[in-house]
Each structure stands twice: as structure tokens, then as C-alpha cells.
Structure 1
Amino acid sequence: MSPVVGLDPTSATSHQLRNGLRKAGWSVQETETEVRLMVPGTNQLESTVDAVLGEAEEEIEDDIAAFGLESQLRDFLAQNLSAIPVDGKRLRLCVDPTGRDGVEYPTAVGPIDILAIDDDEQFVVFELKRAPSPDHAIGQLSRYMGWVTQTIGRGRSVRGVIVAKSISQNLRYSIAVVPNVSLFEYEVKFELNSAYSSTG
């Protein structure tokens, strides 16, 4: 059972869980390399967030930041997959035999942000990071790719894609030895264009 009422630890993001635990009275001790959560009312270490949730990508200050751009990025990509070629191939959302689509696709190793199919009927697994991408994203992606390969893949190849605001040099080094993985940086552009102006 989750110590945070209303949050499912299998589907909530690490940032949502971290904020929820703080609001539930858990204290947080942060160092350069880890974040520790302390059970409410005690000084005893309960667990290391890094071990359970992974490293924090950036400090989350309020619920507006916690909803994150990741869900917006995921929804935008999912709605526009056909316009986003990966390795020159067009994509579409995977839909399994039960009718479940590939957005937040549930697996035994955690939800896949986007599970897609390319022109050749091969799987493409997306791992999205709204902030600069830490190199542990490759571990997450590899886990999801492995699950797809060993379960629903049925002999088809599986590619992985990491999309982040910026790709760290550490992540670039990490994927140098991991086959079938591509990295993409996204850019959000907002522009207002004059549609009408009254005079006088």
C-alpha cells in the first residue's frame, strides 16, 4: 500500500511520489548523490529515494511543476507519432489485442511512456524526460525494451528512443554501447501572431 493517499506507486511519476510523501509529513534529507526519506515522527532512515525512485532530475517546488511537462510531451508525441519519423520510418501507437493503446503502457517492470509500431511492424519504446536527461534513463529504457522483447515482441526487433529537453554527455556515452537506441532533444516554441488590431 502506498504511504501517499491517492497516488499509485506503479503509475505515479517519481516527482509526484516525492511531493506526495513530503505533503504526508515525510522529511527529506538531500545530499549531492542521494535523497533520503524519513518516516513521519521518527529520525530513522526508511529508504533511499535514489534506490527506489531514481535520482531527482530537478527540484519540484509545487504541484504545477509536479504535473510536469512530461505528460504534455507524452500526449503531444502520442497524438503526432505519424509525423515523427524514427530512423526514417513512420510510427503509430501500438494497440494490443485487448484494445489497450501504447500510452503509459503497463508492464511488469513499470509503465512504458509510449509504445509504438513502425512501418515494418517493429516495436519502438519511448522513454521521456521533461528535464535534462540523466544517464540512468538508459537503464529504464533497457528494462522496457527487454520486457517487450521477452513478452509481446514475438521475434520482432525492438528499438528504443529517449526524448529529453537536453541529452547529457554521460547519456551519449551510455548509449554508445547499447544497440538500437536513439536520442532526441525536444524544443518547445511558443509564438503569438497578430490576428487583428483595431485602430482608433
Structure 2
Amino acid sequence: MTSDALRRALTEPGDPPLLPLPGVAAELLLALAAPPRLGAHLRLVHDVAWHLTAAFTERFGAVPFDRQAVLFGSAVHDLGKVEHPAELTGPGSAHEEAGYQLLLRYGVPEERARFAVTHAAWHAPGTQLEDLLVSLADNVWKGRRVTDLEQLVVDRLADITGQQRWQTFLALDDVLADLAAGADRRLAFQADHPLYG
């Protein structure tokens, strides 16, 4: 049975208004009776990913990436916390493989399910730009800046565009600083939703 608290986390407007999750992500959360705080968290990261990818399209227009994959990945990256709720408030990585397996069981293709694992393994060989963008959104939503992750993105973008790395860094830094500025509001929204509902 789905709680009213989860439905509220998935639909409450927020201030400023938050985007809704993609339909598949919201349906999965409801079907799994996810913790309300998880629903709120995924909405926040998805919203940041939307703004991040919009800025990428504007500032790095020559860089090809799958925006819809990033948005989906950001909306489901922590789904495994349904099975490992202690990781909602504490450290742990068991949710990564659990989320990947859950997504596969629910018919999500591997190329989309992978974000459950890659959001925390952005340094692994073969990581794609989309994986890095989900990882960026999953950090900057709360104002956290990860130097190594950002350097990987700068290197990837500079290699594709031919732009100087310092120029690429400055452009990326502007985008991430703007997004990080809303962290307090997002943290408050997440805290307003109970761990269990």
C-alpha cells in the first residue's frame, strides 16, 4: 500500500517548483512503496539534472550526450535504497547493485539500469558522459563539489570541444556554482519528508 507521504513527496510543488519524475520512475517508487524521503531525494536530483543538462546544452552545444538517459538515471539512481533503507541516512553501497537488479526485474533496459551502479562508480573504466552527469547532479543538489569528478568532466568536455581546459573549467564551475546555491532549499525539502511513511 502506498503512503500519502510518498505521494506528497512525488507531487508537492516545492519552492521554487520541482519538476515531476519521469512516469516510469514515479510508478516504480509507488509500486515498491518506497520511503517518502527517497521519493523526495530522487525528485531533487532529477530536478538538478534537468537544470544541469539544460545548461550543458546551452554552454556545450557541440557535445553529444543523451539528455533523456541522464534524466532517467538521476530519477532512479538510488532506487536500491528501497531494499537498503539504512543507506538513506548512513553510508553504504549495497543499494547500488540492489537498484540495478530491481530495475532489470521491472523491465528497465541495462543501458538505463546501469545508473544505479555508475552514479557511485564514476571513476570506473568505460564511464560515459551521461554517468558523470548523473554523478554531478547527485552531488551538487546538496552543494557538494567533488574535484576529481569535476576534473573528469572538464577533461571529457575539453577533449570533445577542443577548448582549453581552463575555459572549460570556468564554464562548468559557473553552472555548478549556480546549482549549488540552491542546496539549502533542497535539503529542507528532503528533510520535510519522513524516512518511513
Relative to the length of structure 2, the TM-score reads 0.30
Q: Whose radius of gyration is greater, 1 or 2?
A: 1
Decide which structure has greater helix share: 2
Decide which structure has greater strand share: 1
Q: Which has the higher contact order (CA 8 A, sep 6+)?
A: 2
Relative to the length of structure 1, the TM-score reads 0.30
